[in-house]
């Protein structure tokens, strides 16, 4: 299914409202002037609201799905409908906002 490409200005949160940011965006491919993000690079999470439980708050996330036809630097780019799993909670990331010009499959 086509979806908009994620870039460094995309707003992404964990299930507990922590903000997720890419660790290694692709500096050579830009959408709307900002670098796109590819699948292998993990995201770091700051401000996870999970407290008072035996489980630690979300600290990072790894993307499990990405574009099948669009690549940047040989790696699949992330799309608005890509899936990710947070560590150590196992909860998903949610894309709230992204650029709305470039789509990929």
pTM score > 0.85 for this model? yes
Model confidence pLDDT, tens digit, residues 65-102: 999 999 999 999 999 999 999 999 999 999 999 999 99
- The span from the first CA to the last CA of the chain, in angstroms, equals 6
Model confidence pLDDT, tens digit, residues 72-82: 999 999 999 99
CA distance 84 to 80: 11
Cα dihedral sign, 103-101-44-49? negative
Assess whether pLDDT exceeds 90 at residue 39. yes
């Amino acid at each position: 299914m086509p979806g908009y490409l994620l870039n460094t200005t995309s707003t992404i949160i964990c299930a507990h409202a922590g903000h997720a940011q890419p660790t290694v965006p692709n500096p050579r491919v830009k959408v709307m002037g900002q670098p796109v993000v590819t699948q292998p690079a993990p995201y770091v999470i700051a401000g996870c609201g999970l407290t008072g439980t035996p489980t630690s708050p979300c600290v990072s996330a790894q993307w499990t799905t990405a574009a099948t036809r669009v690549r940047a630097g040989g790696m699949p780019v992330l799309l608005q409908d890509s899936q990710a799993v947070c560590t150590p909670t196992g909860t998903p990331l949610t894309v709230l906002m992204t650029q709305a010009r470039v789509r990929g499959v």
